[in-house]
Amino acid sequence: MAGDRPEGGEVPLLYSEGNVAARVALEREVRGWSTTELAERVTRAGVKMNQTAVWRIENATPRRRINLDEALAFSRVFELPLEELMSPPLEGLDIASRRLVQEAVEAFYETRDARDRLHHAVVAIADHIKAHPDSSRAIHEQCLRLMGDERDARTLSGDIEEGGHY
């Protein structure tokens, strides 16, 4: 209906290829990737792309169109939900700030994954000790040998005795 349109007659777009193009450029710059490196990553994610296509998406007038497979590949490569990739970049953050946030987010997920791995390993050792009680002392000694730091080895041994890291 004509009454539903803002002045000027255009329907505002919440998401658009322009947003995706701007986010592609921003996310690539935040990660310090060249257009060639991004194209290679997209290709490895399953959608053949070359450096020229990335440049045309980011800079050409008119911009190169982005198909759904490409949008999904960009989403996968940048590890962003598709909806986030389609959203306009947030205002007020410069590239340096975005890089710091990106580094913190990556470190957060790496730490979470490492904690999960540690928990599963500790549970497996605790289960092993329950099944083989004679191995308890040797396992604790091996922790000390491998870790070299008595306080850390005691912490790990305590987690094992409690049956988990969490």
What is the Cα 14 distance to its own chain's centre? 24
- Residue closest to 34 by CA, chosen among 11, 17, 50: 50
Q: Cα-atom radius of gyration of the chain, to the nearest Å?
A: 25
- pTM of this prediction exceeds 0.75: no
pLDDT, tens digit (0-9, with 9 covering 90-100), for 22-61: 999 999 998 999 999 999 999 999 999 999 999 999 999 8
What is the Cα 18 distance to its own chain's centre? 23
Q: How many other CB atoms are there within 10 angstroms of residue 52's CB atom?
A: 13
pLDDT reported for residue 66 = 94
Tell me the three state secondary structure of residue 92: coil
pLDDT reported for residue 34 = 97
Is the model more confident about 16 or about 103?
Answer: 103
